[in-house]
Chain A
Amino acid sequence: MSMQPLHQGSLAATTGGAGAAGSCASWKASVVAELAEVVSHEAVNGEYRHLVVRCSAEAAAAEPGQFFQLLCPQPVGEQPFLRRPMSLYGADPDKHQVEFLYKVTGAGTRGLDTLRVGDRLDIMGPLGTGFVLDPSWRSIVAVGRGAGLATLAPLAKTAKANGTRVTAVFSARRPDLLVSVDLFHSHGADVIAVTDSESTSGPANVERILRRLIADGACDAFFTCGSSRLMRVQQRLAQEFGLPGQVAMEQQMACGIGLCYCCVRDFNVNGEIVHRRVCWDGPVFDLMEALP
């Protein structure tokens, strides 16, 4: 989808350039829609698939918490029309690769499931505002459930690079459905798993775990995705202990780049309820402003 460089040059000459936002002499796409090549695509358990694609430098520059809009292949008998938003699971600027971890749930992901190594997938990104990691934080806590674990995964790598210690509290229905535990371990993170089947995933138990981490000095900030219940626990603790936090939110999307206003959610900003676009103002928001 990139434009011909000659043409950009000619327009720059005819318009004489403009302000910082509109200077087309220096204009360059920072979001691209492109055909990326499937490098690997594997089932990680009964529900989740891990997809790795080779892409442009722009796409591979994606940061933790950002997302892509995938134009999914059409599975037999179904015609998904819109792109599907998908959290970044990993990005490698050196190899020009991005990774996604997804659960097969609908027409779009059933289409993704048909991809074989060597196939092309139209990806658009990177999109949205991601997590911000303050290098002064010595340790952070990441709390995720379900597909939210995939969204939190890239944090582990960035935190390691900053010298920030990560404790991850991962929630799932059953132990075999926990994803990205190995990835967090490989970046030196501690992982505490809680599950429905072991009756350890209730908010009361998660609160006990988080209080202990705070008491141990292991929580300078909260990062969370995938559970309103667990988000509320963290909001309460963040308030009580004066801790910062960030949450990655989900919402049905159409354009993914702030045009259509279909993905708005309510946020509490200093007592006032305001609409924000998840795709453009987020998907990562201040923990204290998020509403379930």
Chain B
Amino acid sequence: MNPVMNAVAHAAPDVDLSVSIGGLKLRNPVMPASGTFAEGLEKVMDFNRLGAFVTKTITRELRAGNPLPRVVERPGSLINAIGIPSKGVRYFVEQTMPHYAAYDTPLVVSISAPTAEGFASLAAELSIPGIAAIEANISCPNIEEDGKAFAMRAESTEKVTRQLREATKLPLWVKLTPNTGDVPEVARAAEAAGADAVVVANTILSMAIDLKTFKPCLGNIMGGLSGPAIKPIVLRQVFQCAKAVKIPVIGCGGISTAEDAVEYMLAGASAVQVGTATFLQPAAMTTIIDGLRSFCLHREIPRITDLIRGVVIEEADEPDLAWLDPVS
């Protein structure tokens, strides 16, 4: 055994950071959010430390993306309307995939299509060695008119998920939108149709206006809000979804620190995705992994999975959530 590894093994009691997401084992629960990750980050961090890779969403067709400006900042947050520029599926398989094959980290491919059939055929085409799971982005607020997406409704979510399920044997993650009134109901629809996990959530549909010109700040007029400002909202949605489904929930929304990740796991997340934080601190993901280990050591928690759904709610203090979630 490598002497360096021995030194580590004996330096501290070990914390088991591994998690299992719908049959896919990850060395730790930290991965990038789609659209905030690319090869450039290997200049900053060792890719073999990540729980998984999650690619920028790819589409079958070539897409140019939205007109500029594509981002605008607001206090504690960022609004983006990038519009999923894509070089198409062949480019991804031939040019992008080989890059990640050099690492011992599962590759999760985010996909999008304008129709359920399109989603299914793309998932089938990408069910190839080297791809560990499919993340179906049925929730991008920027590519459908007025932010409409499959995940806005349970029926359309069930339909697209069912077709995806028939098209691939790979673990299937379905990324939900926070922009609908009943996210747990949509999560249940995804679970019923065969999803192995749900990602909660995509960005929050939003807008900003320039007071000099009176024009919208974004070329696409509306965009998706992300960053620390949205964390309490999405954390609530993760809590609700984790109560509604048995499949794992992957939390995504404003996670910048290990403490944020712990909070998400206590609310019910089995893993977390880090996005906008990487724009501010490029090594945020590895910093969070180190912080999770430290947190567990300090609190004498042997396995990170012990945190999942660990929020303590006293029986008498449990709020009546019926008004938030009329179906339950």
Give the B-binding residues of A (Cβ under 8 A). 1, 3-4, 6-15, 18-24, 27, 29-33, 71, 79-83, 124, 252, 254-262, 264, 275, 280
Contacts and interface: CB of A to CB of B under 8 A. Distances in A.
Interface residues of B, number: 54
B281 interface: yes
Contacts, number: 153
Closest CB pairs A-B (n = 8): A22-B102, A9-B4, A258-B40, A13-B2, A19-B102, A81-B73, A257-B40, A31-B43
B326 interface: no
Contacts of A22: 42, 47-48, 102-103
A83 B278 CA distance: 11
A79 B77 CA distance: 10
B291 interface: no
A257 B44 contact: yes
Contacts of B37: 259
Contact of A29 (B45, B68, B278, B290): B45
Contacts of A124: 282
A15 B104 contact: yes
A248 B102 CA distance: 33
A13 B1 CA distance: 8
Contacts of B9: 10
Given A19-B102, A80-B73, A81-B76, A11 B41 contact: no
Interface in B107-151: none
A31 B44 contact: yes
Contacts of A14: 5, 104
B293 to A, nearest CB: 10
Interface of B: 1-2, 4-5, 7-9, 11, 35-49, 56, 64-65, 68-71, 73-78, 80, 82, 85, 99, 101-104, 227, 278-283, 286-287, 290
Which of A1, A12, A19 has the most chain B CB atoms closer than 10 A to its own CB? A1
B2 A33 contact: no
B8 A10 contact: yes
B76 A83 contact: no
Nearest to A7: B8
Nearest to B47: A22
Contact of A259 (B4, B36, B49, B78): B36
B65 A3 contact: no
B82 A261 contact: yes
B64 A24 contact: no
A15 B7 CA distance: 17
Given A3-B46, A31-B43, A275-B65, A254 B281 contact: no
Contacts of A33: 44, 281-283
Nearest to A6: B8
Contact of A11 (B43, B46, B287): B46
Contacts of A7: 8, 49, 290
B320 to A, nearest CB: 36
Contact of B74 (A9, A19, A81, A254): A81
B206 to A, nearest CB: 14
Contacts of A20: 102
Contact of A1 (B5, B38, B227, B287): B287
Contacts of A252: 68-69, 71
Contacts of A27: 46, 48
